[in-house]
Structures are given as structure tokens and as C-alpha cells.
Amino acid sequence: MSTSSSLPTGNYDHGVIGNGRSAALIEPNGTIVFACLPDFDSGTVFASILDKGKGGSFGIEMVDGKAVSQEYERHTNILVTRFEGESGAFNVIDFMPRYTWDGKAGSEGDASSDLVRVLEPVSGNPQIRVRYDPQLGYAKFETTHTVDENRIKSQTTGTREDGSKVYESLYLYTDLDTEEVQASAVITLNEKRFLFVSYHDKVQEPAGETVNLMLQRTRSCWLLWSARTHRPAKYGEQVLRSALTLRMLQFDPTGAVVAAVTTSLPASIGGSQNWDYRFCWIRDASMTVSILRKLGHPGMATRFIDWILRTVTTKDENLQIMYGLRGEKELPEETLDHLSGYMDSQPVRIGNAVHDQEQHDIYGVLLDVIYQDLSQRVRTPESLDRLWTRVRSVARSVAERWQEPDRGIWEISGKPRQFVFSKVLCWVAIDRAIRIACLLEKNDWAERHVPLLEDIYMDICEQGWNESIGAFTQAYGSTELDAANLLMAEYGFLEHDDPRFISTVDLTLQELCRDGLMYRYKNDGNSAFTVCSFWMVKALSVTGRRKEAREMFDSLLAAANPHGLYGEDLDFTTRRQLGNFPQAYSHLALIDCALELEKDDHDHFIEA
């Protein structure tokens, strides 16, 4: 099977389809360049974005024409690519099935490990070629293909270094001629056809009618979810696209939330800061479900919290910064040296070695979302017991560790330090634990922990504030600034009008902002961290500089890819997307800014 002629576009112009079990990146020319099956963290089946020659891809080409447009169906995660040429025109409709048997969108366990492409003629008799080239299991071993009458089976076998055997398989079902598909022969498209990729050998093989029904039900599922999503009138479309993207990233079987769809897309072209983000960071996930609660989807937070309770089960088990999607605690990291990397950015990594780092801010973000959940949701007595046990365990960890150095929110290498933001989030953890105790009428426990709350606060104010520069710094005894401190008022450590916060915002803008984009901290590489730019928008807004905030926000919106999607980073000069994609952090921060800025013009909040 021949590979597609696609090359990386240079700016992540991809659309993304997904269903809460996995996702796929699709280039503007209709080529699938990244997908893992059956799950987000499984081996790749298409990965030409990481190696054009070896990674594998799935393209649709028009013999006498080309792709002329690509867009999402309104308020869905269904992507449509239009092709036009001398022989006619047709659409490729891409989706991953998502629906429920009981008709309730968002129920658990309703996402399949399937990827569907519907070929829909629009005019004439388009002449097409299918370029189907799956390379299974990160293309570590050869993938072979067997052609049957109505399907193509692809499989790979091999032996790992430890002697264990590898076997993976993939199935393409289609109502096109499978021999012509396999040979990339010219096919005349004179009626609607389908290409149905599944990780599973289907018990009920798909047919045209069932594929059309899947499409309609998936469309209905996304439209229903969108209709239930509250959003501001002014930035409603950007908020909804970000919300739909975040919804795709919650792993349906467990409730965990992936940080991004991809692995090893670099923070700078040719660089080595290439990491696997297909796992659940406690911080990112907590912030994601918290923002979606504001949009009318509290169930995502409840499912995430329940996953935490299943993952961390004993009282003496310390919380990790991240886990696998099923609660795996070990995430061994390896490099795939046989892949050249995105635009030759090596290495390509799978797994993530930082899972055992100490980052004390995770305690605060988790207890903050638990407090929100308990404030607004009714739980059973048994569930409350489990939650209260976990809250007390986290509070005990904070009491034992808050004075110790850690790696900080940015996982900075070198010796652990006394990072101010980590201390602030330790304060948040005890503050929310006390509030939770009061909700549960555990007043004695709450009173006993007030002195600890006060101690942490005073320590931060005395050692984190640098009087000589007039700002809270990155770490105790430092003069360097950190964009994370822009969240100090957001979490309630300081009031928005506190002169110390205003001064910190002013100096951070002066020192870390470059052409409207933010560094995380000084000497932080050659790209801007997108979430930090959004944090600055929010900080400017709440401190009264709302005109500046809106101008900066509009500039950030203009930096989105054609589908309104963001990676982790932006290049300062070209504003091209960088880092793993799409990034939950970036999209949740966009929503948060839009909700704040909508207050300026008394915008109406659109509710279902």
C-alpha cells in the first residue's frame, strides 16, 4: 500500500475528531496523520505526523482535483472535507461514533474504538483514490495486510527486547472494492460509500445503512451536548469549540482526562522537548472539569472525582501528579528511535518519566474541584465517606510536605526549590479542606486546621514577596517571576484589588510578555506557553485593565488554527502552533477568559 503524499502543514492546521475513547488528527487535504486505537494511549495506527515514511496514514485523493475546504459540522465534532475537480465534487465526512442506547448523551461507556469516513458525492462522478497505509504499534514491526471481499485486515507481530511477543490488528470495512482500495486504484464515486476502521473484528459487520445511522446518532449526541452548554454571546462559538474539544478528551471508560491527543509534538522545531501527553495530569484534569462545570456540565467533574477515588484507595497513599487513564501509577518512558519525529524533532517518546515528581500544587487544584462538586451535587452517604477520607489524606500530605521544596508546576529540572505557586496551592488545599469540613459539619476538624492555613499564608507573604522588586517571585529568595502567580487571586489567596497582586501582574507583564505572548518564566525557550497568555488576559481583566485584556484576547483568538484549536505553545514570531495538540490547558483557559470578558458589555449568557 502506498502512502499519502501529505507533509506536515507547518501550523497544525488539522481538524480533530474523537469520541472520548480516542481521537484522530486530519490534515486539510483529508489525510489522517495521527490516531491511536483502541484508546488514546494505545499504540499508533497512523502516525505520519511523526514520520512521513514510516508512521502510516489514511488519505483520500481526487484524481483531477483537490481538497478545497474543511470545517466542522456546526456544533459537533464531525469534520467535513470538500473536494472539487473536473469530474465533480464530493465530501469526506469523518467522525468517531458516540451515542447511547438509551438516548441520553454523555452516558458512560458509549464510545467505540472505530473511525468512520463517509464519502458523499455532491456533483458529477468524482474520480478518487484511497491511500490506506496503517502501520500498527508505533510502526515498530512490519505491518502486513490481508484483503477479503468486504474488509482488509492489517496485523503486526514481533518480539520485544524482554522477549515478550507483540500482536496487534486492525480492520477496514468498506462497501468499495477492497482490491481497488488496497491498490490505490482509481475509483468512480457515483453513490455514497463508507470506509470503517475498527480495532475490533466486528461481530455485526457495518453496512451503509448502519453507518448512516451511526452518523445521525453521533450528530444528535454532539448537538444535544452543545445545546446544554452555557456560553457567552460575544465569544460563544470559540467557547463552544473549546468545550467540544475538552469533552473529547475525557476518557469515557474511566472519567480520566488526557492532557492532549498526541505524543512528541515539539515545543520548538528540531528541539528535544518532546513528551507524551496522553495521560491524566491531576492539575490539568481538575482545571478542565472545573471550567466545564461553569458551562453546565457538572457530570464530568463527578466522573473525574470518582476516578480519583478508585485510583487512590488507601489513606497513606500519596497523590501522584499524573496517572494512566485507567489509574496506572507506573508510566515507563521509552524513546522510539526508528521514528524521525515531527519535522525531524527527536526523540519520539512514549510513556512519561515525570509521573513520580513532587509537585505540591496538585493538592490545591484537586481539593478545589472536590469542593465545587460537593457544593453543588448531592452524593450518597457512602460516597461522602470516601470523599472525606480522601480530603483528609490530602490535607495530611500538605501538612507534612508544604515546607519542603518541589519541582513546581513547570517540572523544572535541577534541584527542587521552594516555589511560591506550590505554596499558594498548598494554602488552597487547606482552605478548601476546611470549607469541605464545614459543609460536612466536621467543625472541630476545620477549627484544628485554621492555624495551619494561617501559617502557610504568612510564610508565603514573608518569603514569597520580594519588596525590592515589588512582586511575588517564582521561588523563595529569588528575583525571577513566574506566570503561574497570575492565578493567586483566582484561587482566593489574594483579592483582585490587593496592591501586591496588581504589582505582581504589572511586573510579570513587563518581564515575561513578548509581542502579546507570555513566557512561563525567564529563559523559557523560544516559544510562548499558550495557557500563560490566557492567564495574563484574565489577570489584566480582573485588575481593571479590561481594554488591554480584550485586545490581548482577540490577538490570541487570531492565533488559533483554522478550526479554532490550540496546541501547548505558540511561536513568538510566526505564531505557529507548537507542542502537543490539541491541548486541554489552552482551551480551558480560553473559556475562562471569555466568561470573564463577557461581563464588559453585559453580554447575555446563552443557556439551553
Distance CA 18, CA 564 (A): 16
pLDDT level of residue 104 (50, 70, 90 thresholds): low
Mean pLDDT taken over the chain: 94
604 pLDDT exceeds 90? no
For the CA atoms of 269, 522, 358, 292, what is the dihedral angle to 10 degrees? -70
Q: Give me the mean pLDDT over the 286-298 stretch.
A: 96
Closest CA to 359 of 310, 304, 322: 322
Q: Give me the mean pLDDT over the 378-394 stretch.
A: 93
526 pLDDT exceeds 90? no
425 pLDDT exceeds 70? yes
109 pLDDT exceeds 60? no
pLDDT level of residue 106 (50, 70, 90 thresholds): very low
Q: What is the pLDDT of residue 601?
A: 61
Q: What is the pLDDT of residue 606?
A: 57
pLDDT in tens, 205-221: 999 999 999 999 999 99
Closest CA to 501 of 493, 175, 425, 580: 493
Distance CA 544, CA 304 (A): 34
Neighbouring residues of 181: CB distance < 8 A, sequence distance ≥ 6: 130, 132, 152, 172, 174, 187, 195
Q: What is the pLDDT of residue 3?
A: 35
Cβ-contact 31, 13 below 8 angstroms: no
Q: What is the CA radius of gyration of the chain?
A: 25
**Of all residues in the chain, what percent are helix, strand and coil, respectively (each to 5)?**
35, 25, 45
* Type of residue at 230: H
pLDDT in tens, 65-99: 999 999 999 999 999 999 999 999 999 999 999 98
Distance CA 272, CA 239 (A): 32
pTM, full prediction? 0.94
3-class SS at 293? helix
105 pLDDT exceeds 60? no
Distance CA 537, CA 522 (A): 19
Distance CA 325, CA 329 (A): 10
* Type of residue at 499: P
3-class SS at 543? coil
Q: What is the pLDDT of residue 228?
A: 95
Cβ-contact 22, 36 below 8 angstroms: yes
pLDDT in tens, 244-254: 999 999 999 99
CA atoms within 13 A on the CB side of 527: 21
pLDDT in tens, 398-414: 999 999 999 999 988 88
Closest CA to 129 of 70, 66, 63, 72: 63
How many residues would you count in the chain? Answer: 608
Q: Give me the mean pLDDT over the 564-577 stretch.
A: 95
457 pLDDT exceeds 80? yes
Q: What is the pLDDT of residue 572?
A: 94
pLDDT in tens, 461-504: 999 999 999 999 999 999 999 999 999 999 999 999 999 999 99
Q: Give me the mean pLDDT over the 288-299 stretch.
A: 95
Q: Which residue has the cell 453546565?
A: 296
Q: What is the pLDDT of residue 8?
A: 40
Cell digits for 344?
A: 525531524
Distance CA 139, CA 184 (A): 21
Q: What is the pLDDT of residue 100?
A: 66
pLDDT in tens, 125-178: 999 999 999 999 999 999 999 999 999 999 999 998 888 999 999 999 999 999
CA atoms within 13 A on the CB side of 52: 11
Q: Give me the mean pLDDT over the 586-605 stretch.
A: 85
Pairing of strands 165-174, 187-188: unpaired
Q: Which residues pair with 276 in a beta bridge?
A: 263
Cell digits for 476?
A: 523563595
